Amino acid sequence: MKKIISWAIIIYVLYCIGMAWYLFSFADSSIPAEWKGTTADPATFLTPREQVLSEQYSQWKNFLFFVSVPYDWLAYLAVLWLGVAKALQTWSEKATKSFVVQAAFYVFWLSIIMSVLTLPFDFISYRISRAYGVSTQSVFSWMRDETTDFLVNTVMLFLLVVVLYGLIRRFEKRWWLYAWMVSVPFTIFFMFIQPVVIDPLYNNFYPLKDKVLEAKILALAEKADIPSDHVFEVNMSEKTNALNAYVTGIGSHARIVLWDTTLQRLQEKEVLFIMAHEMGHYVMKHVYWGVASYIVLTFAGLFVAGRVMNWLIRRWGEYFHLHKISALASLPLFLLVISVLNFSVSPVVNMVSRYEEHAADEYAIKLTKDADAAISSFQKLTKEGLNQVNPPIIVKIFRYTHPSILERIVFLERIKRGD
Encode pLDDT of 312-350 as tens digits. Answer: 999 888 888 888 999 999 999 999 999 999 999 999 999
Q: Other C-beta atoms within 10 Å of 345: how many?
A: 13
93 in a labelled binding site: no
For the chain, how are helix, strand and coil distributed in percent, rounded to 5? 75, 5, 20
Asked if the structure places residue 242 within a domain, the reply is no
321 is in an annotated binding site: no
Can you tell me the distance from the alpha carbon of 181 to that of 176, in angstroms, rounded to the nearest whole number? Answer: 9
CB neighbours (10 Å) of residue 344? Answer: 11
Residue 409 has pLDDT above 80, yes or no: yes
Question: Distance between CA atoms of 76 and 160, rounded to whole angstroms?
Answer: 18
pLDDT at residue 222 above 90?
Answer: no
> Among the listed ranges 54-63, 184-193, 212-221, which one has the minimum average pLDDT value?
212-221
The pLDDT-based confidence of 227 (bands split at 50, 70, 90) is: low
User: Is 139 in contact with 148 (CB distance < 8 Å)?
Assistant: no
**pLDDT over 80 at 279, yes or no:** yes
Phi/psi at 234 (5° precision)? -130, 140
Is residue 62, in this structure, part of any structural domain at all? yes
Q: Tens digits of per-residue pLDDT, 97-151? A: 999 999 999 999 999 999 999 999 999 999 999 999 999 999 999 999 999 999 9
CA distances from 321 to 1, 266, 314 (A): 12, 56, 11
Say which range, 211-225, 287-301, 342-356, has the weakest mean pLDDT.
211-225
Average pLDDT over residues 192-216: 84
Task: Tell me if residue 267 falls in helix, strand or coil.
Answer: coil
Return d(Cα 256, Cα 232) in angstroms, integer: 6
CA 30/CA 45 separation, integer angstroms: 15
Detail the DSSP E strand segments found in 253-307.
255-259
First to last CA, the chain: 62
**What is the CA angle 107-108-109, rounded to 5?**
95
Evaluate whether residue 353 is within a structural domain.
Answer: yes
**Mean pLDDT along residues 43-69:** 94
Measured distance CA(125)–CA(137) in Å, rounded: 12
Which whole number is the average pLDDT over 85-97?
Answer: 92
At 228 the pLDDT is 60
| Residue 194 confidence (pLDDT) above 90 | no
Say if pTM beats, i.e. exceeds, 0.85: yes
Q: What domain range is 36 assigned to?
A: 2-202+286-417
Statement: residue 221 has pLDDT above 80: no
Residue among 348, 354, 363 nearest 404 (CA): 354
Residue 304 domain-assigned?
Answer: yes
Mean pLDDT of 47-54: 93
Identify whether 329 is part of a domain.
yes
Contacts of 120 (CB under 8 A, 6+ apart): none
| Strand bridging mode 245-248 / 205-206 | unpaired
Residue 84 lies in a domain: yes
Total tally of structural domains belonging to the chain: 1
Q: What is the pLDDT of residue 229?
A: 64
Question: 340-367 pLDDT, tens per residue?
Answer: 999 999 999 999 999 999 999 999 999 8
State residue 217's pLDDT score: 80
Q: What is the pLDDT of residue 419?
A: 64
- pLDDT band for 8, please (50, 70, 90 cuts): confident
CA dihedral 258, 260, 261, 263 (to 10 degrees): 70
Q: In 3-state terms, what secondary structure has residue 240?
A: strand
Is 277 marked as a binding-site residue?
A: yes
Active site amino acids: 278, 361
Average pLDDT taken over every residue of the chain:
91
**H or E stretch covering 231:** strand 231-234
Domain membership flag for residue 232: no
Does 293 fall in a domain? yes
Mean pLDDT of 49-54: 94
Q: Would the pLDDT of 376 be above 80?
A: yes
Q: E strands along 151-223, which residues?
A: 205-206
* Burial status of residue 23 (CB atoms within 10 A of its CB: 0-12, 13-18, 19 or more): buried
